[in-house]
Amino acid sequence: MEYKMLFSPMRIGSCEIKNRIVMSPMLMGFGQLDGKPTKRMLDYYEERARGGTGLIITEITRVNDRHGAAAFAQLAASHDYHIEGLREFAERIHRHGAKLFVQLHHPGRQNVGLAVGTVPLCIAATRVCKSFPKLLFKVAPKLGKTLCEKNLTKASVAPSACEPSYFAGGRVRALRHGEIKQLVRQFADAAVRCKAAGVDGVELHGTHGYLIQQFLSPHTNTRTDEYGGNFENRLRFLREIVEEIRKRCDDYPIIVRLTVDEFYDKIGREGVGYGLDLGVEYAKAIEKMGVDAIDVSSASYDTFNFWLEPTSFETGWRKYLAAAVKKEVKIPVLAANLIRSPEQAEAQLEEGIQDFVSLGRPHTADPH
């Protein structure tokens, strides 16, 4: 087999990607407490670029330290001091002809309360005591578990004071209007930093039940101001982020990773959240916003098995989601959908299901 499509170039906005192979975002926990990359992290990602992948998308990267940190060792783009590390990151990926996008993220209610408010304190403590992270990683699992179980941690944030998410638990409070405006600016600030660092583009994380999806979902967004109540209002948070990035970064490439079906019906909660029909409407509206590509995914923490499916699922079982979006939009469609062989990848490209094949766990297993 020749894999003609798999190894043909394609553009995402102004960025040309040498082939259709994407390393989908995966949190590895190789960062520093303050959000800078470590040598280990850069080596890890660079090896995947050396292996021939066309586009590398980073793991969830925080834009807000106070309630937006989802892990103690994740990458961040929340301060200007992150630009230097991101620049080195981009340079190491570019050495191999690959491109780098940073995935900008806020967990919203899908956060453990332990991470809310504590990250800035931990960063400050590390400045005073270099070995603080060692101590933190020793005590956090046990102490954190106890604090979470006793509900002694801070509330995570969401569009509304909705039920806590399965898996994260804890208390949830509604974002204040001013906090939403501040978050819009923080997403755009992060994009500005990525651009300044020579990163090729950003991916906005609107899937897997995190904050942007929480705004889109009638399940977690019951606001009565201009950010909730109908389709347009639920889309407003994402629209404002995209507009702010466009205003400050011109035609800098933007991908939106989008849940097109929350799959509540698969856990016996029919009528909760949104399904494929509305998901495709969101994709169409996102294209109209001027976004450069859509990365199709599904579900949330409540329906965990339907975005990070066990490998016992049939390969390509959810390719119909990408196909439904591809039929309605002209911009490139990326999708991770249990692709496990080059033959399957080529076939899905030829069938017109998607334009890029995203591989998560295959990249972990084999960087080349």
Question: Least CB distance from residue 303 to ligand FMN, whole Å?
Answer: 14
x/- string (CB under 6 A) for ligand FMN, residues 139-178?
A: ----------------------------------------
Closest distance of CB 253 from ligand FMN, Å:
17
From 44, 81, 210, 252, the catalytic residue: 210
Chain position whose Cβ is nearest to ligand FMN = 360
Q: Does 27 engage in binding with ligand FMN (CB under 6 A)?
A: yes
Residue of 137, 169, 158 whose CA lies nearest to 213: 158
Per CB under 6 A, 342 contacts ligand FMN: no
Q: Which of 92, 257, 318, 319 binds ligand FMN (CB under 6 A)?
A: 257
The answer to the question of residue 336 lying near ligand FMN (CB under 6 A) is: yes
338 makes contact with ligand FMN (CB under 6 A): yes
Task: Locate 84 and state its tokens.
Answer: 């230097």
Instruction: Clarify whether 210 is annotated catalytic.
Output: yes
User: Min. distance of Cβ 168 from ligand FMN in angstroms?
Assistant: 15
In the shown chain, the binding pattern of residues 279 to 308 toward ligand FMN, with x for contact by CB under 6 A and - for none, equals: ------------------x----------x
Q: Does 360 bind ligand FMN (CB under 6 A)?
A: yes
Residues contacting ligand FMN: total by CB under 6 A: 18
Distances (CA, A) of 94 to 17, 19, 30, 254, 358: 11, 14, 20, 18, 19
CA distances for 83 relative to 79, 189, 244, 253, 332, angstroms: 8, 11, 19, 18, 28
**Smaller CB separation from ligand FMN, 59 or 240:** 59
Q: Which of 51, 117, 361, 367 binds ligand FMN (CB under 6 A)?
A: 361
Cβ distance to ligand FMN smaller for residue 24 or 220: 24
Catalytic residues: 210
List residues near ligand FMN by CB under 6 A.
24-27, 59-60, 103, 205, 208, 257, 297, 308, 336, 338, 359-362
